[in-house]
A and B are shown apart, each in its own frame.
Chain A
C-alpha cells in the first residue's frame, strides 16, 4: 500500500516506462477451483508477461470469469498458485492487491459523481485532497470525460459509464488491470471504436491488461495473445493469427471463426505430404503438421476464405501431382454479406463445403448462382490436419 501511495503521489511516474521483470508478471500454476461438483477451473497454468494485452476467450460457463475473479482475489483457488512478480498472492485480500478490475456492469457507485467514483480508490490509498484532485483530473483527461465530473452514473450514457469504470480502475496505477467483458454492454459501432481506444490506451500506459470476453472478434482485434478456454481448461494460448491459422484442436478450430471440418484417415505419407481419404469428400492432400499425427482418425480443417471457386477446375497436372486439392460440386446456397459472399457447395461425394469469397467488384456479372456446377480448390498448405 505504501509503495502504491508513493507512485500515485508522483505525477511523473505515470509516464514511467514498463519495467521488464525477469519472471513473468503473472504466473498461474496448476490452479483448480471447484464449485460443488462442478470444477470451474481445472489445473490451469498460464504465464502473462508485463505489458501484455492478454485475452481469455471462451464460451459462457468455461471458467474464464472465475479465473479473473481469482486474480482479483474474490475467489481463492482450491489448489495451485497464483504468483504476481514471483510472490504468491493467494493469501492477499482483494483490497491489498496491486490489481484492479473493471466490472462487467461497470459497478459504478450510484450515489457518487464521476469525480468521486474515479477518486474512490485514491481515497482508500490515503491520498490528500490535492493528490486526489490532480490524479482524477489526469484520468478524466485520459478517458476524455472533461466536463462530466459532477454527473452521477445514471446521467451518463453507456459509453461514458464504461470510461468512468476504466478511469476508476486505472487511477491506482495497478500492475495488472482485469477487464470483465468490458464492451459487452455497448452497441456494435461504439464497441469497435472503444476497442481501438482501449488498445491505444494500453500501449500508452504499458499496463498489463487481462480481458475476459466471449467475443472472438474483440479478442482477436485487441489482444497480443489469446488463451482459449473450455470447461475450465486452456485449450490453446497463442497470438490471434496462430489461433486462427493453426488451431491446436478441432474444438479451437470450430470455436474461433468459421471452418470446414473433414474427417478422414491417412492413406499415404510422402515426406511431409499426406494423402488423406476424407469422408464424403474424396482424396485430399495436406501438409504434415509440426506435431506429427499418428495413423489415428484425423480431421482436416479448411477456412472458408481459403477455398477458391471456378467454373473449370485448376490444371489437371496440378491436381494429379497433389499440388492442389480440387473438389467438384454444385452451389446449393448463396449468402450475400456485403463485403463478402458465403457459398455452400454440395460436393458430388456428399459433403457440403462453406466458401467465402470477397466481393471485389461492385457489378459482378460473373457471380455464382444456385445450381451452378463449380470446382472448389485449395492448396495443401491451407489444410490444417488435427487429431480427432
Chain B
C-alpha cells in the first residue's frame, strides 16, 4: 500500500466537522451557557460569571464537591495499589493455580453493568450493617476502578523484559530491591495513568455512588442530578464546565506523563 499525503476532500471535511460537532457541540453549548446572565437556562441574557460566584457560595454544592474529591483521591490511591499488585501477580506469577480464574474475576467489573455492581455492594453493606457514607462509597469506587488500573499496568508490565529484573538480582539486589530499582521506575507512567483514570472514573460515577452513599454525604454527581430533577439552574452549567475543565487538565497531564516516558525511550503507557 502506498502512503498518500492526507488530502482533505469536501466530503472528508464535512464528515470531520459533523463528527466533531456530534461529540463536542453539547459541551460547547454547556460552557457558553455557563456564562449566561439570564436566570432561564434556555434564554441568552448576555455574558456574566454570576453562576460561578453562585456556585462558590453554595455550601451544599461545595460540600458535595469536597466529598467527591476525597472519595476520588482515596479510592484511586487504593485502587492503584491493589490494581498494580494484581497486575504484577498476573504477569509475573505465570504458573500459579487459578490464574485464569483470577484474571477473569478481576476483569468482571469492567463489563458488569454498574447497576448490578452498585446493588450488590448495597446489599453487602446492608448485610454488614455498615453505616453508608464516605467510607462505603470509597470502597465501592475502589472495587469499580481497580480493574482499570490492572489493565493499564498489566499491559505495561507485559512489555518489560523479565531479564531486566534478573540482571538486577545478578548485580546484587534481592528480589524486592530489584523490583524497586528496575521494574517500578519502568511501570511508573502506567501506574500514574492508572491513578488518573481511576480518579476520573470515581469523580463522574453516579450509579454506584447513589447505591452506596447515605444521607448527608452526597457526591457531586448525585448532588447535580438531584438539583437537575428540580429544574436546571444555570449554576449547574457552571459546575459542569469546571468539571470538564478539570478532567481535561487531568487527561492532558496523563498523556504528557506517558509522552515524557516514551521520549525517554520507553514504550508509552496505553492511554
Q: How far is the CA of A95 from the CA of B170 in the complex (A)?
A: 5
Once the chains bind, are B172 and A124 in contact (CB under 8 Å)? yes
- B42 on the A face (CB < 8 A): no
Q: How far is the CA of A110 from the CA of B171 in the complex (A)?
A: 16
Once the chains bind, are A154 and B265 in contact (CB under 8 Å)? yes
Once the chains bind, are A94 and B169 in contact (CB under 8 Å)? yes
Total residues of chain A contacting the partner, CB 8 A: 29
**How far in angstroms is the closest Cβ of chain B from A59?**
22
Given A103-B166, A105-B161, A105-B163: A111 in contact with B266 (beta carbons within 8 A): yes
Indicate the size class of the contact surface on chain B. 20 to 34
Once the chains bind, are A74 and B172 in contact (CB under 8 Å)? no
Residue-wise, chain A 293-334 has the 8 Å CB interface mask toward B (1 for contact) of 000000000000000000000000000000000000000000
- A184 on the B face (CB < 8 A): no
Once the chains bind, are B163 and A103 in contact (CB under 8 Å)? yes
Given A152-B264, A153-B265, A154-B265: A109 in contact with B173 (beta carbons within 8 A): no
Once the chains bind, are B170 and A72 in contact (CB under 8 Å)? yes
Q: How far is the CA of A74 from the CA of B172 in the complex (A)?
A: 13
**How far in angstroms is the closest Cβ of chain B from A118?**
10
Once the chains bind, are A172 and B166 in contact (CB under 8 Å)? no
CB nearest to B165 among chain A residues: A107
**How far in angstroms is the closest Cβ of chain B from A35?**
11
Q: How far is the CA of A155 from the CA of B264 in the complex (A)?
A: 10
- B268 on the A face (CB < 8 A): no
Partner of B164, one of A74, A94, A109, A168: A109
**How far in angstroms is the closest Cβ of chain B from A140?**
17
Once the chains bind, are B172 and A107 in contact (CB under 8 Å)? no
Once the chains bind, are A124 and B171 in contact (CB under 8 Å)? yes
How many contacting A-B pairs (Cβ < 8 A)?
A: 70
- A121 on the B face (CB < 8 A): yes
Question: For residue B167, which residues in chain A have a CB less than 8 angstroms away from its CB?
Answer: 101, 103, 107-109, 168
Once the chains bind, are B265 and A110 in contact (CB under 8 Å)? yes
Once the chains bind, are B164 and A107 in contact (CB under 8 Å)? yes
- B174 on the A face (CB < 8 A): yes
Question: For residue B178, which residues in chain A have a CB less than 8 angstroms away from its CB?
Answer: 95
CB nearest to B166 among chain A residues: A74
Once the chains bind, are A172 and B265 in contact (CB under 8 Å)? no
Question: For residue A168, which residues in chain B have a CB less than 8 angstroms away from its CB?
Answer: 167, 171
Question: For residue A154, which residues in chain B have a CB less than 8 angstroms away from its CB?
Answer: 265
CB nearest to A174 among chain B residues: B170
Residue-wise, chain B 87-123 has the 8 Å CB interface mask toward A (1 for contact) of 0000000000000000000000000000000000000
Q: How far is the CA of A94 from the CA of B167 in the complex (A)?
A: 9
- B206 on the A face (CB < 8 A): no
Q: How far is the CA of A111 from the CA of B168 in the complex (A)?
A: 13
Partner of B168, one of A104, A120, A153: A120
- A125 on the B face (CB < 8 A): yes
Once the chains bind, are A107 and B163 in contact (CB under 8 Å)? yes
CB nearest to B173 among chain A residues: A124
| 17 extra A-B contacts, CB within 8 A, seeds A99-B170, A111-B182, A153-B265 | A72-B166, A95-B174, A105-B161, A107-B164, A107-B166, A108-B167, A109-B164, A110-B186, A110-B265, A110-B266, A111-B266, A124-B171, A124-B173, A152-B265, A155-B265, A168-B167, A172-B171
**Leading 5 A-B pairs by shortest Cβ distance:** A124-B172, A121-B171, A154-B265, A107-B167, A107-B163
29 A-B contacts, Cβ less than 8 Å apart?
Answer: A1-B172, A72-B166, A72-B170, A73-B170, A93-B169, A93-B174, A94-B166, A94-B169, A95-B170, A95-B171, A95-B172, A95-B178, A100-B171, A103-B166, A103-B167, A105-B163, A107-B161, A108-B167, A109-B164, A111-B266, A121-B170, A124-B172, A124-B173, A124-B177, A125-B172, A152-B264, A168-B167, A168-B171, A169-B170
Residues in chain A within 8 A of chain B (CB atoms): 1, 72-74, 93-95, 99-101, 103-105, 107-111, 120-121, 124-125, 152-155, 168-169, 172
Residues in chain B within 8 A of chain A (CB atoms): 161, 163-164, 166-174, 177-178, 181-182, 185-186, 264-266
